[in-house]
Amino acid sequence: MGTITWGGYTWNTGTQPAPPAVAAPPDPNLPYYNSNMWQAQNVSVQSNCLQLTLARNSGYIWDSNTNSLQPSSGPDQIWAAAQAVLQLPSGTQLTYGDYLVTVKAGTAASGGQSDWAPFTGSNTASGANTSTIFGTFLFDPQAAPPYNEMDIVEIGYQNQNQSGAWINQQPGGPVPNDAQFVLQPWDSGTPGQANWNYVHRINLDYNSIPAGGEITFVLRWLQGQPLQFFAAYGTYTDSTFPFTGPNTITWQTPASVQGSIPSPTPTLTLYLNLWPYGGPSTNAPVNFAVTAVTIPTTT
């Protein structure tokens, strides 16, 4: 377990997978591509951004002869993911309000519009090879399933041709979408089948992404109100965000799911992660940079 300071907050960056999965090393009872490994070194502060990196530095290879993971320091190590988990001071907790996360594909220093190509379908060949998911979500590891989870956004090109790609197993996939807003569980009512009252697919428009590459996503979580999700191209604060802008993407949960929207809890926190489903067949590292977050808290 490691920690890093960024944006005025402390973030845990340890080797644990996203709860409730077991901690590293990976679960030997799961296929190697469905047992993500998380390396603290894959989260760093670069150019005032929190950079998440997917890289071949897990410390393991998959031995097909023994059908097991084996320690390795070689160039064919299994891909390792990046995760940063918000750690608030004692007595402080997340509360109702607007959660803003601004991200860009690519590294903090060089990421720009072109780095979004594999994730938006504008570069189909590259996108088909990018088995990579960026996610930012509220999650309570101490709660019962579905862990009070509200996904501010999950990003991953959804028209991949790889039959085993994780994104193809998401609700509605494979379809030409590249991101989604979710109130978990996405398959409420019928396990394994999308409930479109809980999950909403969106298309990010490559041509609308500014040269710098930033897109801002917002979750508006208010007591007794539907969840509202927004995405706008560019960098914004809560006071400048174009909630009613002509190019702003919006979605609101219907009244039928109001009872599934959680209330604040002391152990609810914010997750930022970048993870593979087997890893990009381009065999090149993947980066996402979080440039800003807004986190409403109370004491």
| pLDDT tens per residue across all 299 residues of the chain | 689 999 999 999 976 554 444 334 444 444 444 557 788 999 999 999 999 999 988 888 877 787 777 888 888 888 888 999 999 999 999 999 999 999 999 999 999 998 888 787 654 444 445 578 899 999 999 999 999 999 999 988 544 444 444 444 555 554 556 888 999 998 899 887 778 899 988 888 889 999 999 999 999 999 999 999 999 999 999 999 999 999 999 999 999 999 999 999 999 999 999 987 666 767 889 999 999 999 999 99
Per-residue DSSP letter, 167: G
Give dist(CA 155, CA 147) in Å, integer: 20
Give dist(CA 118, CA 105) in Å, integer: 9
- Three-class secondary structure of residue 259 per DSSP: helix
Element (H, E) at 38: strand 37-38
Give dist(CA 242, CA 258) in Å, integer: 25
Domain that holds residue 233: 3-298
Give dist(CA 143, CA 217) in Å, integer: 25
- The DSSP result for 116-153, as a single string, is GHHHHSSSHHHHTT--EEEEEEEE-TTSSTTTT-EEEE
Give dist(CA 43, CA 55) in Å, integer: 11
Torsion of CA 106, 109, 113, 118, to 10 degrees: -10
User: Would you say 247 and 232 are in contact if contact means Cβ atoms under 8 Å apart?
Assistant: yes
Question: How many domains are contained in the chain?
Answer: 1
Give the CATH number for residue 158. 2.60.120.200
Which pTM value belongs to this model? 0.89
